[in-house]
Amino acid sequence: MRSGTARIYLCSSREPLDRLKKKFAIRKEVQPPERWTLYDSFDWRLFHAALTLRARRENSSWLLQLRNTNGLVHRLTLPRMRAFAREFPQGALRRRLEAELDVRRLLPRLRLHSTRERLRVVDGRRKTVCRLQWSRARAARAGTRQSRQLSARLRVEPLRGYGKPFQELTRFLENELGLQPEPRPLLEEALQAAGLDPQAYSSKVRVTLEPDLRADEAARCIHRQLLANIEANLEGLVADLDPEFLHDFRVAVRRTRSALAQIKGVFARPSLRRFRREFSWLGRVTGPVRDLDVYLLNLPGYRKDLPPDTRPGLAPLAEHLQRLKRDEHRKMVAALGSARYRRLIRGWKAFLSRPAPGRTTLPNAARPIREVASERIWRAYRKVIDRGRSIDVRTAPEKLHRLRIDCKKLRYLLEFFRSLYPANEVDRLVSALKKLQDNLGDYNDYVVQQATLESIAAEGDDSHRLPAETLLSVGRLLERLARKQQGERNRFSKRFAVFSNRENSATFSNLFESR
Amino acid sequence: MTVYATYNIKGGVGKTAAAVNLAYLSARDGHRTLLWDLDPQSAATYYFRIKPKVKGGGRKLVRGKSDLARRIRATDFEGLDLLPADFSYRNLDLYLDDQKKPERRLSRLLKPLRKEYDYIFLDCPPSISLVSESVFQAADALLVPMIPTTLSLRTSEQLRSHLLQGGPRRRLRIYPFFCQVDRRKNLHKSICAAGSEMAYPALETVIPSSTVVEQMGVRRKPVLEFAARSQAADAFRQLWKEVQSRS
């Protein structure tokens, strides 16, 4: 269906259209106004994949369109809008959405209300040879009432096999009527008008530091960004929109704790002690819900692992976990609504906006960040290497757990200070480290999952005791998990050898070791 | 990509009406659709108000000398393109005969369009010739419109023996269906009733004899565009559903 690309002009009045009518044979089509709602995840996953999902009510059903930069990719009519990719009917659209959104919820982000006039240029046979559309639109952030007028646009669409009339028409529009092409996509203008910025949020650490910035200033920079992420996710996790809000929240908290502990000698001891204690509390109160989220996310995979006849036994377990999660979520929301939480955030904000003291007795506060960063990363790296080397097949699981924590610390440091070093080299180290972390993480997950499953199966008061079939299924599950755990354990030495190979250790030494 | 060809040895039975309306329905369902008007009488091209002219004519096209994709024209309906007819198509047989493996020619020409279209409809000229041979090779299914008369039943039989002649060939589905049916005529009724016992069983859908189908030539639009609520329009919708459910 190739037909060349449409051209878009700014056209604020009807006057050019009237002049067009004098020169070309034109038919007008009345087009009813359209109200579209643009859907995307909180972190704009579709937008970042150059996709837009828009939906509008038509009679009593929903009309959905998934578009990329070339136009329509999939469309679908549904009796009601869906919140998660997995809730869509089987098909190409669902596969695409699942690939992009994973477990994230679709949220209404932007409303577009447009009135359109469609014009057709026809030839002597009254055959359409070119299409025009003059549209005026208003955009609003979903859930708000104030909408903003967008620039009126005239879109000229070529038809396949009719290149000449298209050229004639666009030449006339540009040369005779002086219309200006509008290169900016409507979506971009609409997002801006609605005050939405898809680039604004990222779960990644994105700080750019100058190498000779004071270390305490640099640490504050990093912390400010982490705090922004903590706050950005609060609303979504309280409403339990999808599990990623809590996950990102917890990652930001963990990074904060890690930065507080790892960037040593930059903050005064009393403040440091207070905030470390408080953020540790924050990690603790959000932990149980996350654990249950992980279970619920893993359940479909568990089901597949089990022989078909034992699968139905898992249903009561799912219900049980849901119930536990509701309770824990309520407790968590109470903690996050408490005075303690408010005090923590207020105090932390004040602390981070305080200017660095002119004179300081803290050993690292006034040193250039690059020096401090290199020292910290080098130490963390040595620790990983030393501990990793001491692990063999007989080593106790706790030691692997500790190595996992060491790796995490190193990873965070590399990410915090990425901007101070050649990006491609740091990225290569991070991806090498990531492979080792995946191994250790999976191993640990299997250990923890077994323990938790065992305790869930063992507890259960009289009112909530799990049925015998469920316990049987859980038993089968435990066997599988133990086998998988062993598999990861067997892979460890190879993974570690790859991470600690000569090339990586040379890069670590070059970048971070002081001479 | 699925290729449907509307075909009958006899002329004037409703091949073009079926091709135009089914292609229109396919596009409206959101499928990228192409209709190739192979008939030098260019009726389908006329219905879409497109000039019945192909640059370089049928000879260059068959030889693969002109880029098929560049001869395609958009119709007035979104998602529906047309490859126009040309008067030189009356000699398509001769041009094909000049080629090696002439009966494979059409499907080779269509190959580059596979990615571009979900459905391709071939509107064929009446006759049994190299053109129809080539169509049988290129198509996944033949849609065979038939007026319910004794003669047309004979044609069905002829088609069958012709198709069987070449020995075993790749799976080509044959879907005859009755059109221009007048329910008041007893003969029409009894022949339609026996449709399932024909050499190739007929589809259940029956296209009624209707003035709106004839009006297509005046309106120069698919029936579904100007008489969407007519009986004929309903019949075409049902036919499209039935054809899709069979494939």
Structure tokens at B236: 């075409």
* Cα–Cα dist B200/B162, whole Å: 13
The yes-or-no verdict on residue A476 having pLDDT over 90 is no
* Cα–Cα dist A266/A375, whole Å: 14
The yes-or-no verdict on residue A471 having pLDDT over 80 is yes
Nearest by CB: B116 against A1, A120, A126: A1
Measured N-to-C along each axis, helices A315-336 and A423-458 cross at an angle, to the nearest 10 degrees, of 110
The yes-or-no verdict on residue B59 having pLDDT over 60 is yes
Which residues on adjacent β-strands are paired with residue B241? none
The yes-or-no verdict on residue B24 having pLDDT over 70 is yes
Nearest by CB: A162 against B32, B74, B79: B74
Q: Is A236 helix (H, G, I), strand (E, B) or coil?
A: helix
Tens digits of residue pLDDT in B86-100:
999 999 888 888 888
Q: Which residues of A touch B32 (CB under 8 A)?
A: 1
Give the per-residue SS3 of A87-150.
Answer: HCCCCHHHHHHHHHHCCCCCEEEEEEEEEEEEEEEECCCCCEEEEEEEEEEEEEECCCCCCEEC
Dihedral (Cα; A343, A345, A348, A354), 10-degree rounding: -100
The yes-or-no verdict on residue A464 having pLDDT over 80 is no
pLDDT above 70 covers a percentage of chain A that reads 98
Tens digits of residue pLDDT in A190-218:
999 999 999 999 988 889 999 999 999 99
Nearest CA in chain A to B45: A127
Q: Which residues of A touch B79 (CB under 8 A)?
A: 1
CB A292 within 8 A of CB A321: yes
Angle at B131 between CA B129 and CA B135, to 5 degrees: 120
At A461, is the pLDDT very low, low, confident or very high (cuts 50, 70, 90)?
Answer: low
B 148-177 → A contacts, CB under 8 A: none
The yes-or-no verdict on residue A460 having pLDDT over 70 is no
Which of A119-123, A258-262, B157-161 bottoms out in mean pLDDT, i.e. has the lowest?
Answer: B157-161
* Cα–Cα dist A259/A255, whole Å: 6
The DSSP element (H or E) to which A454 belongs, if any, is helix A423-458
The yes-or-no verdict on residue A462 having pLDDT over 60 is no
User: Residue A10 has what pLDDT?
Assistant: 93
Tens digits of residue pLDDT in A315-346:
888 888 899 999 999 999 999 999 999 999 99
Yes or no, beta carbons of B81 and A125 under 8 Å apart: no
Residue A160's nearest CA partner among B137, B86, B82, B244 is B82
- State chain B's maximal CA–CA distance in angstroms: 52
Interface residue of B29, B37, B46, B49 to substitute, partner A, most A CBs within 10 Å: B49
The values of phi and psi at residue A18, to 5°, are -65, -40
Query: What's the distance, Cα to Cα, between the start and end of chain A in Å?
Result: 64
CB A152 within 8 A of CB A135: yes
Look at phi and psi of residue A4 and say left if phi exceeds 0, alpha if psi is from -120 to 50, else beta.
left
Task: Kindly report the nearest CA distance between residue A106 and chain B, in angstroms.
Answer: 24
pTM of the complete model: 0.80
Tens digits of residue pLDDT in A166-189:
999 999 999 999 999 988 889 999
Residue-level length of chain A: 515
The yes-or-no verdict on residue A1 having pLDDT over 50 is no
Q: Which residues of B touch A2 (CB under 8 A)?
A: 69, 116
Interface residue A304 vs chain B (CB under 8 A): no
Q: Which residues of B touch A130 (CB under 8 A)?
A: none
Mean pLDDT of B132-160: 87
The yes-or-no verdict on residue B130 having pLDDT over 70 is yes
Interface residue B79 vs chain A (CB under 8 A): yes
Interface residue A160 vs chain B (CB under 8 A): yes
CB A101 within 8 A of CB A152: no
Instruction: Tell me the residue type at A227.
Output: L
Give the per-residue SS3 of chain B.
Answer: CEEEEECCCCCCCCHHHHHHHHHHHHHHCCCCEEEEECCCCCHHHHHCCCCCCCCCHHHHHHHCCCCHHHHCEECCCCCEEEECCCHHHHHHHHHHHCCCCHHHHHHHHHHHHCCCCCEEEEECCCCCCHHHHHHHHHCCEEEEEECCCHHHHHHHHHHHHHHHHCCCCCCCEEEEEEEEECCCCHHHHHHHHCHHHCCCCCCCCEEECCHHHHHHHHHCCCHHHHCCCCHHHHHHHHHHHHHHHHC
User: Residue B166 has what pLDDT?
Assistant: 64
Q: How far is CA A466 from the centre of its chain?
A: 36
At B61, is the pLDDT very low, low, confident or very high (cuts 50, 70, 90)?
Answer: confident
Residue B37, burial from CB neighbour count under 10 angstroms (0-12, 13-18, 19+): buried
Yes or no, beta carbons of A1 and B81 under 8 Å apart: yes
* Cα–Cα dist B207/B14, whole Å: 9
